[in-house]
């Protein structure tokens, strides 16, 4: 057999290969390895983790105890008054150092730092929210390069700025300077562009961090580099008309090919000329037959993969984004109730169902993708379509917003200002402007971003909490005017200008709430934070009449479940007035207010564990009243965002998911209350009105059935009505006259059950239960509750049966996973099946042995001694044990 080689063909193929090969213009290395750190006064370096914080590095070395355990937080306040140094070494070859541009990209330095490379100062920082990029080629050398970052104490720097200002800035009591042992109890948080909650909040500890909290990237490039891409949506119809706005840095003038790929397919190619330096390109393109992105519950979250590729002289650079096509508008128009405030998505008004979000840990680098997925998938599972990223935390990581894009969760995005007035000097203002530009540009390609909001509760504090008058009275009118001028500059000029210049298609709202606290006119326009329930001690029923145009904050507290509390306490702490439980409660009226409301609605629980459980029932009931009221009145109110979905440490708080990821009763209740279809009762003087609310975009024909049932299961009365449920509306369909339908019944022994059935297939769409007397007055039977357990490959299955009414059935297994349903009511002679994901190595026998099932009746103390026990505990707290 002969082998023939066509050398001409081979040469031709080699030439073609050479001509078609492209060299990536940009290369990157993450500098995460071989870091060490030390106190600035020490000589010994210790191993560090990057990204990380000083606190977590000390913790990993066992130089401090867990800051979240018992009272440990209080002994760690020295850390934020110390300067800390970090150091690493990276190696570069002669080839690597020959690149035309080499830079360091600092995604997040917390906060005051000086950066040295080979003993040369290359950067100073004073803002943890900013992205700093610095050219370092001139100080690099072949071989080992030493990178040092010196962090200055945020407290000491803050005190300097505080003292230099010459007047006092008003702020809320959330800056816990006393716990922080700050000189003169000075409140320094307004002066430092860092997460406000690090200085404390009424749900969080005082742990002021420093460190390299986001990645550091060593980036080198030749010829050209794409700095930024913004995929702008111009109009969406039969075609989506788009524009790619591309920022490019070029070494020299060059002919360049720009190519746009959509889902991997090249749809647009143009030739253009780059000039040396910065270039701003505008490349229009179209997407045929666009598929729209919809919020959760309204349709699919379709995302296009869009890539921009630039090629010049054999060098190529690319950037890609996942983009959802949708329109979003904030509609604020005069109407017969005031001025509307609602979001319209793809041309449809959307009732926003959701919660407020805070950072998931004080030590930010500890929050990984798994934690983001858990909280946001829990939001989606609870039928939410909006998350408010609150202004006292951080602009979240890209992973957070990508998950929101994927899950259909719109984001109300605050800028990072909360509950404080701020300085107005030129340096501070320029720092804030660059922070805003950095983050608007970083986040604007995310489909989920619905609105940019200037701040949290700053305007309302100035106008309605007495700050303006106090500044005028205690300092001077000139000082008050100076403070207001800074506010006006930041929130009415600078931030809206940044949004207009860099993300003009999205609305800007200067402050949340945008109306005055507690005043009637505030409910007719803008958004409202309603805190007369909790802070004002108003009953939950007040939610039925306090109906704003958009409720962006309201809430009530509860404790974590007992298995969570056990993780940060010891048995002697198990009293809500113990030092540890009070320390893990940061509201100034916290535990007393929970107890006060509990005794209004429930019988006093018999012990500590029961108190934790009933506190969750109390919270869930209160917020359910609010959600249903807002949704019944969707002709007026078009948003219900409760405070808050999550925690940043183990604590009694307003959250519906505790720090360890456990769903509280509120989260299970919100899941039901936020379903697309809701039946809701409204108790009026002479009648019990029954509403059906639909957030669906399609009408349905249905049967609405109302049953009056006693606690033994006997159906006393029933009423049915065939109805048409129209899309996107709330309507009263049945009015039950009290002197007829509810006549001659003992309200402590009956309930109303409402069911909505689909006429086409007779399947149940939704249901709801209403008790006719306060929970503490109900004559609840002891349920004959039994359960059995089985398993599948991935889940344990629990089947429960009851002969009597079982109220608020709670299953506890000690697992980190959540049951498919929990805290539910079981009517007499019914069966219910729930499941929970298996924990590794746990057998069915082990699970069954640990499983605990309780109901509300199990918390009762028939001997009536629990009030005496609580009184005794308070005496011990006040006077000490004898």
Q: What is the DSSP string of 498-519?
A: HHHHH-TTS-EESSBS-S-TT-
The per-residue pLDDT for 861 is: 83
Superfamily of domain 224-312 in CATH is: Immunoglobulins (2.60.40.10)
Per-residue pLDDT of 311-362, as tens digits, reads 999 999 999 999 999 999 999 999 999 999 999 999 999 999 999 999 999 9
CB 46 within 8 A of CB 37: yes
CB 630 within 8 A of CB 680: no
Torsion angle (degrees, nearest 10) of CA 684, 690, 695, 699: -140
Dihedral sign from CA coordinates of 422, 184, 71, 583: negative
- Stretch(es) of the chain classified as CATH 2.60.120.260: 26-210
Using the 8-state DSSP alphabet, how is residue 170 labeled?
Answer: P
* Phi, psi (rounded to 5 degrees) for 356: -85, 145
Does 869 have pLDDT greater than 60? no
The per-residue pLDDT for 283 is: 98
Q: Is the peptide bond before 51 cis (omega within 30 degrees of 0)?
A: yes
Does 188 have pLDDT greater than 70? yes
The per-residue pLDDT for 519 is: 54
Confidence class for position 879, pLDDT limits 50, 70, 90 = very low
- Stretch(es) of the chain classified as CATH 3.20.20.80: 518-670
Cβ neighbours, 10 Å, residue 626: 24
Does 150 have pLDDT greater than 60? yes
The per-residue pLDDT for 520 is: 54
The per-residue pLDDT for 45 is: 98
- Stretch(es) of the chain classified as CATH 2.60.40.10: 224-312, 677-776, 785-854
**Would you state the CATH architecture of domain 785-854?**
Sandwich (2.60)
The per-residue pLDDT for 7 is: 46
The partner residues of 261 in beta bridges, in order of sequence, read 266, 307
Topology given in CATH for the domain delimited by 26-210: Jelly Rolls (2.60.120)
Confidence class for position 840, pLDDT limits 50, 70, 90 = confident
* Phi, psi (rounded to 5 degrees) for 35: -90, 150
Burial of 362 (0-12, 13-18, 19+ CB in 10 A): buried
Confidence class for position 521, pLDDT limits 50, 70, 90 = low
Summarize the confidence of residues 62-87 as an average pLDDT: 98
The per-residue pLDDT for 769 is: 98
Confidence class for position 13, pLDDT limits 50, 70, 90 = very low
Summarize the confidence of residues 669-692 as an average pLDDT: 97
The per-residue pLDDT for 784 is: 85
Confidence class for position 251, pLDDT limits 50, 70, 90 = very high
Annotate 549-569 with DSSP letters as a single string.
Answer: S-EEE----BPPPHHHHTTT-
The per-residue pLDDT for 876 is: 44
Nearest to 86 by CA among 58, 54, 63: 54
How many Cα atoms occupy the beta-carbon half-sphere of 477 within 13 Å? 0
- The CATH number of domain 518-670 is 3.40.50.620: no
* C-alpha span between 420 and 175 (Å, rounded): 10
Does 233 have pLDDT greater than 70? yes
CATH class in words for 677-776: mainly beta
Q: Is the peptide bond before 225 cis (omega within 30 degrees of 0)?
A: no
Q: Which residue is associated with the tokens 């503490």?
A: 776
Secondary structure of the chain: what % helix, strand, coil (to 5)?
25, 35, 40
Summarize the confidence of residues 133-154 as an average pLDDT: 98
Q: Which residue is associated with the tokens 């869930």?
A: 620
The pair of three-digit structure tokens given for residue 554, joined into one six-digit string: 């309201």
Confidence class for position 195, pLDDT limits 50, 70, 90 = very high
The per-residue pLDDT for 14 is: 39
Burial of 665 (0-12, 13-18, 19+ CB in 10 A): buried
3-state secondary structure of 119: coil
Length of the chain: 882
Torsion angle (degrees, nearest 10) of CA 213, 214, 218, 224: -150
The per-residue pLDDT for 400 is: 99
Q: For the chain, what percent of residues have pLDDT higher than 90?
A: 93
Give Cα separations from 100 to 147, 277, 316 (angstroms): 20, 13, 15
Q: Which residues contact 101 (CB under 8 A, 6 or more apart)?
A: 135, 137, 220, 221, 222, 225, 249, 251
Give Cα separations from 783 to 368, 780, 802, 809 (angstroms): 43, 8, 6, 10
Confidence class for position 787, pLDDT limits 50, 70, 90 = very high
3-state secondary structure of 219: strand
Does 17 have pLDDT greater than 50? no
Does 4 have pLDDT greater than 70? no
Options 435, 457, 595, 675, the catalytic residue: 457
Mean pLDDT, the chain, rounded, equals: 94
The per-residue pLDDT for 20 is: 46
Per-residue pLDDT of 621-642, as tens digits, reads 999 999 999 999 999 999 999 9
The per-residue pLDDT for 15 is: 38
The per-residue pLDDT for 882 is: 31
The per-residue pLDDT for 9 is: 45
Confidence class for position 25, pLDDT limits 50, 70, 90 = confident
Summarize the confidence of residues 95-115 as an average pLDDT: 97
Does 18 have pLDDT greater than 70? no
3-state secondary structure of 209: coil
The per-residue pLDDT for 381 is: 99
The pair of three-digit structure tokens given for residue 492, joined into one six-digit string: 């009415």
Say whether 457 is catalytic. yes
Summarize the confidence of residues 285-308 as an average pLDDT: 98
């Amino acid at each position: 057999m002969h082998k023939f080689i066509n050398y001409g063909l081979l040469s031709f193929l080699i030439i073609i290969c050479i001509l078609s090969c492209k060299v990536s213009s940009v290369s990157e290395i993450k500098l995460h390895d071989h870091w060490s750190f030390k106190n600035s006064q020490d000589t010994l370096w210790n191993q560090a983790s990057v990204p990380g914080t000083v606190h977590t590095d000390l913790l990993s070395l066992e130089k401090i105890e867990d800051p979240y355990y018992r009272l440990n937080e209080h002994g760690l306040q020295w850390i934020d008054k110390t300067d800390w140094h970090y150091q690493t070494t990276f190696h570069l070859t002669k080839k690597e150092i020959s690149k035309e541009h080499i830079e360091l990209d600092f995604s997040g330095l917390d906060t005051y730092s000086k950066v040295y490379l080979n003993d040369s100062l290359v950067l100073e920082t004073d803002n943890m929210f900013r992205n700093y990029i610095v050219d370092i080629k001139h100080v690099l050398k072949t071989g080992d390069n030493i990178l040092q970052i010196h962090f200055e104490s945020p407290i000491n720097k803050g005190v300097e700025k505080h003292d230099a200002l010459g007047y006092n800035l008003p702020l809320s009591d959330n800056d816990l300077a006393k716990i922080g042992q700050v000189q003169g109890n000075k409140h320094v948080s307004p002066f430092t562009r860092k997460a406000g909650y690090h200085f404390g909040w009424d749900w969080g500890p005082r742990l002021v961090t420093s460190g390299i909290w986001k990645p550091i990237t060593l980036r080198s490039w030749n010829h050209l580099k794409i700095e930024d891409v913004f995929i702008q949506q111009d109009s969406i119809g039969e075609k989506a008309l788009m524009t790619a706005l591309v920022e490019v840095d070029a070494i020299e003038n060059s002919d360049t090919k720009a190519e746009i790929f959509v889902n991997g397919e090249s749809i647009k190619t143009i030739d253009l000329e780059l000039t040396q330096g910065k270039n701003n390109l505008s490349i229009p393109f179209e997407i045929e037959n666009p598929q729209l992105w919809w919020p959760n519950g309204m349709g699919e979250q379709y995302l296009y993969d869009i890539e921009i590729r630039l090629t010049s002289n054999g060098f190529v650079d690319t950037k890609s984004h996942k983009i959802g096509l949708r329109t979003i508008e904030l509609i604020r128009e005069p109407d017969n109730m005031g001025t509307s405030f609602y979001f319209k998505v793809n041309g449809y008004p959307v009732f926003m169902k959701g919660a407020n979000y805070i950072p998931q840990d004080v030590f930010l680098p500890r929050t990984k993708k798994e934690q983001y997925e858990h909280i946001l998938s829990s939001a989606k599972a609870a039928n939410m379509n909006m998350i408010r990223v609150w202004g006292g935390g951080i602009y979240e990581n890209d992973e957070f917003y990508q998950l929101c894009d994927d899950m259909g969760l719109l984001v109300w995005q605050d800028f990072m200002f909360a509950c404080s007035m701020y300085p107005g000097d030129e340096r501070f203002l320029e720092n804030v402007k660059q922070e805003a530009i950095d983050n608007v540009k970083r986040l604007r390609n995310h489909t989920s971003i619905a609105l940019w909001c200037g701040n949290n509760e700053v305007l309302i504090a100035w106008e309605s909490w007495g700050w303006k008058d106090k500044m005028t009275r205690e300092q001077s009118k000139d000082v008050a005017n100076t403070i207001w001028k800074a506010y006006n500059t930041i929130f009415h000029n600078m931030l809206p200008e940044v949004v207009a210049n860099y993300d003009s298609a999205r609305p800007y709202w200067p402050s949340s709430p945008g109306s005055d606290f507690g005043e009637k006119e505030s409910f007719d326009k803008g958004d409202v934070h309603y805190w007369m329930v909790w802070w004002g001690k108003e009953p939950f029923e007040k939610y039925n009449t306090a109906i704003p145009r958009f409720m962006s904050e309201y809430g009530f507290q509860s404790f974590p479940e007992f298995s969570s509390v056990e993780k940060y306490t010891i048995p002697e702490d198990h009293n809500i007035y113990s030092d540890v439980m009070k320390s893990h409660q940061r509201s100034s009226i916290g535990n007393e207010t929970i107890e006060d409301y509990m005794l209004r609605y429930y019988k006093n629980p018999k012990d500590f564990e029961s108190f934790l459980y009933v506190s969750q029932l109390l919270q869930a009931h209160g917020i359910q009243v609010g959600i249903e009221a807002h949704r019944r009145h969707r002709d007026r109110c078009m948003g219900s965002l409760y405070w808050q979905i999550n925690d940043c440490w183990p604590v009694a708080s307003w959250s519906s998911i505790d720090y360890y990821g456990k769903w509280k009763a509120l989260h299970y209740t919100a899941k039901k209350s936020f379903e697309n279809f809701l039946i809701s009762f409204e108790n009026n003087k002479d009648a019990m009105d029954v509403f059906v609310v639909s957030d669906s975009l399609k009408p349905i024909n249905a049967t609405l059935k109302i049953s009056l049932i006693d606690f033994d299961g006997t159906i006393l009365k029933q009423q049915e009505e065939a109805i048409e449920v129209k899309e996107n509306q709330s309507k009263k369909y049945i009015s039950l006259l009290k002197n007829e339908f509810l006549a001659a019944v003992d309200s402590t022994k009956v309930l109303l059950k409402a069911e909505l059935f689909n006429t086409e297939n007779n399947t149940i769409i939704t249901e709801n239960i209403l008790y006719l007397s306060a929970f503490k007055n109900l004559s609840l039977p002891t349920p004959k509750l039994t359960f059995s357990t089985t398993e599948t490959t991935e889940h344990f299955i629990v089947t429960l049966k009851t002969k009597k009414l079982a109220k608020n059935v709670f299953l506890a297994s000690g697992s980190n996973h959540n049951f498919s349903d929990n805290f539910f009511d079981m009517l007499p002679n019914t069966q219910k099946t729930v499941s929970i994901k298996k924990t590794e190595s746990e057998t069915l026998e082990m699970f069954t042995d640990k499983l605990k099932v309780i109901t509300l009746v199990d918390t009762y103390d028939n001997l009536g001694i629990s009030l005496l026990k609580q009184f005794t505990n308070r005496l011990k707290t006040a006077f000490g044990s004898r």
